[in-house]
Structure 1
Amino acid sequence: MLKSWTQLSDVQPTVAKIVVNSLRRDRIAHAYLLDGMKGTGKKETSYLFAKSLFCKNRDGEDPCHQCVNCKRIESRNHPDVHVVEPDGNSIKKHQIQYLQEEFSKTGLESKQKIYIIDHADKMTTSAANSLLKFLEEPNQETYAFLLTENIHRILNTIISRCQPLSFQALTSKRLIDKLVEQGYSPSISTTVAQLTNDMNEALELLTDDWFAEARLLVIKLYETLQVRPQQALLFIHEKWMPHFPDRSQLEIGLDLLLYIYKDMLYAQLQKNEEIVFIDQLELIEKQSLQTTQSKIVDQLSFILQSKSRLASNVNAHLLMEQIALNLQEG
């Protein structure tokens, strides 16, 4: 949970600057459109903004997080902060109409009212048209926050009535730094940052025992293929396949396998700063001296081809056996 605008500034400096200036000058727009990829902090920012507007003991532009308003907003039960989310696959007209009815009433705590529409791009056409009328005639102290990952699906007439706040995806380096700050090792943080740039998804992976074991199995498979290739098929049968029973899990396994072979190439090129499995640097450097760049490129190409084949209806077990045989031949 975001605690201050300075904290947001570390990852979304432009957004933080716009909001802080608005709060400082008391020039708040009636509607904001928060656009960006999943995990970039849109929802957290909307709640922090709501706290700043309702806080009874604000410190500059930052909310106190202790007053009754801050606590109610954080627990999602403030009577004058309304959240609209998709009902099934879409946000429907009756949800916007209910919102309009609620906002026609006097605020229970103050004159201010806030509504947050999550996945605003999922509004039906009739819902979007109803919202447009709402935006065209805002009440004096009514504030809207529209959150979207797909701004191109929102009506231009709605976009034109909102202050845009564009959220940038976290860079791999920044995500790694944030994960290390939270106590995770640089090696596993670097691995996760290759799979996602979403902080929440990264944390889900890091707290999942399955992922930790998956990473370990990739290292063991790599070592087996390099040092004991005759045992690779047995390893696939007894260890690998039981841990990767479905295609989505196997895809993660192949991604990780791809990265450890890329690491071997980076080791040859003396680009250690690019290596993902940095905790296996000694093994990777040793094996990189016993092969050629062209062989590594061929192995990478085969893993990529195998990932593509996985998307079609192939036998996953046979696919992994083919990968093992191809990689050990080098």
Structure 2
Amino acid sequence: MKKNWQELATYQPRVIKLLANSIEKERLAHAYLFEGKKGTGKKDVGILLAKSFLCEDLQDYEPCQNCKNCKRIDSGNHPDVHIIEPDGLSIKKGQIQELQEEFSKSGVESSKKLYMIVHADKMTVNAANSLLKFLEEPNANTIAILLTEQYHKMLNTILSRCQLLSFHPLQPKVLQETLKESGVSPNIAALVSQLTNDTDAAFELSKDDWFAQARTKVIKLYEVLVNRKGQAPLYIHTEWMSHFNDKEKQDTGLDLLLYLYKDILSVQVGNDEQVIFQDLMQLVKQHALQMTQRSVTEKITSILEAKKRLHANVNPQLLMEQLVLTLQEG
């Protein structure tokens, strides 16, 4: 899906405002370092910057998306846009040298050229030193974009030659709306946006049948805990363990259960709009009246404790059986 600056501003308002301003005033820096966690939109912004830089029909700062340059950048075969990614575990000196050779030729389409180095922190020392020479002699019509999730691992000499732009993790509400706009059901979008702030991971999780079933299993466990207390250990044995069959899945299951109890607490303190399981609002409100805040807080604490013990290699089935006995109390 093609993105424009206006859409990306929802995710990274500060970064986009700065870049849009620089494009409009024709004051783009010759080197940028985009740093931030995975899934915060760094590469999307880099691609869009390439389009705005090379677009034949720029509207203020928005690329037209339809000219020859925009289309070739989309398809990944523009001769003056080069994207370098790690070859195996690192970016080698040879890759940077090839880039330098490419850039010593005049631009194929125009005098403008742009290169992007993905995971720039994975450059070998020799590759980083090669790049440094390149950055020290900037061509007026060349832009470098370095992307990294760990900029503290990069040479200070490289950092000092780049304009640093920090990409912040996405807010759950922003991610939730993005997922919904892309056709993800509101119930799944609300949960996924709590579990990750990585856009790519969120889309992957929202399409996973296992996750949709996990949500159903957690709701069922909760109903068993409330209405058929004695049957909770049996439910763990017959239905829970086969679905949450490794540590990562068990951790997710505990997270979903935790959010349900947090929803009850949200209603008790008057924050109905914070409720994640919105489709269970009637049930959540009913139980918020039946439980004390202290009781709900204790249940939340016991789930957090179970998450800790799960990572200390306690037997998962035993852990869940003990947890449901604790949750049934009060």
TM-score by length of 1: 0.94
Worse-superposed segment, 178-187 or 194-203: 178-187
3-state SS in 2 of match to 1:236: helix
Q: Given the alignment of the two structures, is residue 16 of structure 1 paired with residue 31 of structure 2, yes or no?
A: no
Q: 1:114·1:144 contact (CA, 8 Å) conserved in 2?
A: yes
1:231-290 alpha-carbon deviations (Å, 9 max, x no partner):
212211221111111111111111111111111222222321222111111112222333
Task: Tell me by how many angstroms 1:57 deviates.
Answer: 2.4
Q: Given the alignment of the two structures, is residue 324 of structure 1 paired with residue 324 of structure 2, yes or no?
A: yes
- 1:130-279 superposed matches below 5 A: 130-279=130-279
**Partner residue, 2:306:** 306
Q: Could you list the runs of 5+ residues in structure 1 that have no partner in the other structure? A: none
**Partner residue, 1:73:** 73
3-state SS in 1 of match to 2:11: coil
Q: 1:2·1:45 contact (CA, 8 Å) conserved in 2?
A: no
* Aligned counterparts of 1:293 and 1:19: Cα–Cα separation in 2: 47
* Aligned counterparts of 1:138 and 1:47: Cα–Cα separation in 2: 20
Task: Tell me by how many angstroms 1:47 deviates.
Answer: 0.5
Q: 2:93·2:126 contact (CA, 8 Å) conserved in 1?
A: yes
1:177-202 alpha-carbon deviations (Å, 9 max, x no partner):
22233333433322112111222221
Aligned residues between the structures: 330
* Aligned counterparts of 1:38 and 1:213: Cα–Cα separation in 2: 26
Q: 1:57·1:64 contact (CA, 8 Å) conserved in 2?
A: yes
Worse-superposed segment, 50-59 or 181-190: 181-190
Q: Which amino acid aligns with 1:122?
A: K
Q: 1:2·1:8 contact (CA, 8 Å) conserved in 2?
A: no
Q: Given the alignment of the two structures, is residue 84 of structure 1 paired with residue 84 of structure 2, yes or no?
A: yes
3-state SS in 2 of match to 1:35: strand
3-state SS in 2 of match to 1:140: coil
Q: Which amino acid aligns with 1:73?
A: I
* Aligned counterparts of 1:8 and 1:257: Cα–Cα separation in 2: 33
Give the percent of matched residue pairs that are identical in Structure 1 and Structure 2.
56
Q: 2:40·2:198 contact (CA, 8 Å) conserved in 1?
A: yes
Task: Tell me by how many angstroms 1:115 deviates.
Answer: 0.9
Q: 1:214·1:253 contact (CA, 8 Å) conserved in 2?
A: yes
* Aligned counterparts of 1:316 and 1:126: Cα–Cα separation in 2: 47
* Aligned counterparts of 1:27 and 1:262: Cα–Cα separation in 2: 48
3-state SS in 2 of match to 1:147: strand
Worse-superposed segment, 179-188 or 228-237: 179-188
**Partner residue, 1:289:** 289
3-state SS in 2 of match to 1:289: helix
Task: Tell me by how many angstroms 1:2 deviates.
Answer: 4.7
* Aligned counterparts of 2:91 and 2:247: Cα–Cα separation in 1: 31
3-state SS in 2 of match to 1:58: coil
Q: 2:10·2:174 contact (CA, 8 Å) conserved in 1?
A: no
Task: Tell me by how many angstroms 1:68 deviates.
Answer: 2.1
* Aligned counterparts of 2:212 and 2:240: Cα–Cα separation in 1: 14
Q: 1:262·1:300 contact (CA, 8 Å) conserved in 2?
A: yes
* Aligned counterparts of 2:169 and 2:302: Cα–Cα separation in 1: 30
Q: Which amino acid aligns with 1:220?
A: K
Worse-superposed segment, 76-85 or 88-97: 88-97
TM-score by length of 2: 0.94
Q: Which amino acid aligns with 2:208?
A: D
Q: 1:120·1:148 contact (CA, 8 Å) conserved in 2?
A: yes
* Aligned counterparts of 1:322 and 1:33: Cα–Cα separation in 2: 49
Task: Tell me by how many angstroms 1:74 deviates.
Answer: 0.8
Worse-superposed segment, 78-87 or 182-191: 182-191
**Partner residue, 1:55:** 55
1:18-75 alpha-carbon deviations (Å, 9 max, x no partner):
2222222222211111122222211001101111122222223221222222111111
Worse-superposed segment, 215-224 or 191-200: 191-200
* Aligned counterparts of 2:151 and 2:318: Cα–Cα separation in 1: 42
3-state SS in 1 of match to 2:107: coil
